[in-house]
Amino acid sequence: MKAKRLLGAALAVGLGLAAITSTTVVAAQPKRGKSGAPAAAPARPAEVPATKKTIALTPAGLAWGMSTKQVAALIDKMLDEAYVPRYKATSPGVKMKALDAELAEEKSAFRRSRIDFGKLPTGIDGTPLKGEYTYLNKESMMTLARADGGKRYFFFIQDKLWKIIDEHALGEGNPRGKDYQSAVVKLATALGVPGRVTPPEPEKGRYVTEVDWKDAATHFRAIERSESEIAFAYEDLVTLSSLDSLRPNKPVDANAIDPAVASAVRKDEPPPGPPPTEKAGKKK
């Protein structure tokens, strides 16, 4: 069995919710009154609901604030453990050397996945991850591919881990749910409280529905990707509270008028005239 399958299984247990994966407005589905008419929908809570269960990061040993090197070392350890059964079943020789090379390549692939969000735009801007990072603020990302086809993204700011995003498939028979709505219901049940629903707001750069929760250390978002895919985002609350100061370079509005053009337009406009004066009233 491929080591990635064991690795994927270990990562899938996040939150202790191996059977869960989605976010949706379904977490606060309106109940019907005695007359059969839908009861008034509850007002959206102003604060993120606190979970009754801890939002645990997996695998064991993963913690907020770890550097890229520390996370890579942890992934190395996971891969080493995942390869143990295959090493036990392999005799020393050519096949053992091939296995050594395969393991080394998996470790190297994770390190090569690093993307630094510096001066130049990246291909990530064309993916659903756009908006999860900024440029010129010492941010970076590493990607781990799972055997089930999903991916885990590690986000760093000033070389400190502060966000993780897992992508998961949905569908009939999927333990996480057949769609976004059913997945969010499972999340609410597992976490002990309905999440806060945030609808799409294109003017703010959010184009999908999100449902979120938090515990003492982690903010958790269930992100609607499509009818067949959901994403879980885990964020460090300490970093989140300081994010504005950690990102001094703000994103440039692509639709904004270039300052030089705006200045030229102002120069072509005639200067404003004097303020109108009131005419003195005539004496009778």
pTM of the model: 0.77
48: its two tokens? 């993120």
Q: Cα angle at 173 between 171 and 176, to 5 degrees?
A: 65
User: How many C-beta neighbours within 10 Å does residue 270 have?
Assistant: 5
* Mean pLDDT, residues 3-16 taken together: 49
pLDDT per position as a tens digit, 242-284: 999 999 998 876 555 655 555 555 555 566 656 555 554 554 4
Distance CA 150, CA 228 (A): 12
Per-residue confidence band for 28, with pLDDT thresholds at 50, 70 and 90:
very low
Distance CA 12, CA 123 (A): 26
- In this predicted structure, the answer to whether residue 3 has a pLDDT above a threshold of 70 is no
* Mean pLDDT, residues 155-182 taken together: 95
DSSP, collapsed to helix, strand or coil, labels residue 196 as strand
Residues 6+ apart with CB under 8 A from 172: 178
Per-residue confidence band for 157, with pLDDT thresholds at 50, 70 and 90:
very high
> Which of 14-28, 51-65, 265-279 has the lowest average pLDDT?
14-28
pLDDT at 229: 95
pLDDT at 214: 97
Per-residue confidence band for 146, with pLDDT thresholds at 50, 70 and 90:
confident
Share of the chain above pLDDT 90, in %: 65
Residues 6+ apart with CB under 8 A from 238: 64, 217
Q: Which residue has the higher pLDDT, 231 or 7?
A: 231
Buried b (16+ CB within 10 A) or exposed e, 207-237: eebbbbbbbebbbbbbbbbeeebbbbbbbbb
User: How many C-beta neighbours within 10 Å does residue 177 have?
Assistant: 24
pLDDT per position as a tens digit, 115-136: 999 999 999 999 999 999 999 9
Sheet holding 151-157, edge to edge: 115-117, 139-145, 151-157, 160-169, 229-236, 218-226, 210-214, 196-198
β-strand partners of 217: none
- In this predicted structure, the answer to whether residue 188 has a pLDDT above a threshold of 50 is yes
Distance CA 20, CA 12 (A): 9
